Amino acid sequence: MTKVFSVLLSLLLLCHAFPGIAEAAATNRALLSLFCASGAIAGTTCKRARSYPDSEGRRCDVTLKPERQQGRFLASSNPLLVVSYGSGCEPHATDFGGAVVFEQVGGAYKFRGFQPGMQVNECVISTVRDEAQDVLVCLTGHMGQGVVETGVARVGFASASGGSIEMSYDFLLQTEDTTGAYLTNIVSCSEQLKYFGLSKLAAGPTPGSVVAAVSYADRETISTACAKGFPKPKDAEDMRELAPGEAFVPDGYAKSGSVIIEIASRSAKLR
């Protein structure tokens, strides 16, 4: 009993010292209560979510993560809160989680649905000329069999049946890095530019734009690769067999910089 009291006292003192912790805990519990079965909340986790998609009778857990985005993402709706979550009911294909959507109505939130596989971990909220709502642009990523796919996507929101809200990706730029699978990236000798990876998404230099760090091969790099100017990676037998007109750009030979993406025109430009 003394040990339990000591732990509770420590938590109480921590909450007084850092009121934001107590406020975050209360917010998480309030959000979880909107979709969690009675008595199934433990910290930031709902151990049994109600109406989890495609659960087929399984007891699906949902753990809210710190990453969340809030804005007026539907012109006809109240502000929306989108929170990242993890779940043991989600496979690797959906990166073991997704996003859960809430609508702010007055001073409270209403649950508007789970969106498995949607990533809102690294995002920018922007405005686009002549559009009434906020625009959410996020960095996405997925690795399968050693191939890393990254992208910058505008996130779409749409009202659906039963009051739910569905999310979708409109990709503005997508990249692929194959060094984990083949020890090298592959380029076509006819290409002028090939993007391999994206990271560090941020607001761009002008309204309605975003910027991200990028690794890439420009025309100079591609020409060198096609002239066999790069050393062949070790363990080359593990490399994918090149098709005619292809060449490899080994790890360490790609260039790095940043790319500016204009949301409305969907144009990407290196800087």
So where are the chain's domains?
140-153+169-271
- Tell me which DSSP letter residue 28 carries: H
State residue 76's pLDDT score: 76
State residue 17's pLDDT score: 53
State residue 131's pLDDT score: 86
Q: pLDDT per residue over 61-70, tens digit each? A: 999 999 999 9
In the numeric block, the tokens 């989600």 are attached to 90
HEC letters along 239-255:
CCCCCCCEEEEECCCCE
The model carries a pTM of 0.88
Alpha helices (runs of H) in 92-214, residue ranges in sequence order: 179-182
Task: Return the SS3 of 21.
Answer: helix
In the numeric block, the tokens 């009121």 are attached to 19
Give the amino acid at 225. Answer: A
State residue 236's pLDDT score: 65
State residue 8's pLDDT score: 42
Q: pLDDT per residue over 90-146, tens digit each? A: 999 999 999 999 999 988 999 999 999 999 999 999 999 888 899 999 999 999 999
Residues of the chain with pLDDT under 70: 1-21, 236-238
Q: Which of 37, 166, 173, 10 is nearest to 101 (CA)?
A: 166
Strands (DSSP E) along 106-251, which ranges?
108-116, 123-126, 135-144, 147-159, 165-177, 184-188, 194-203, 209-217, 246-250
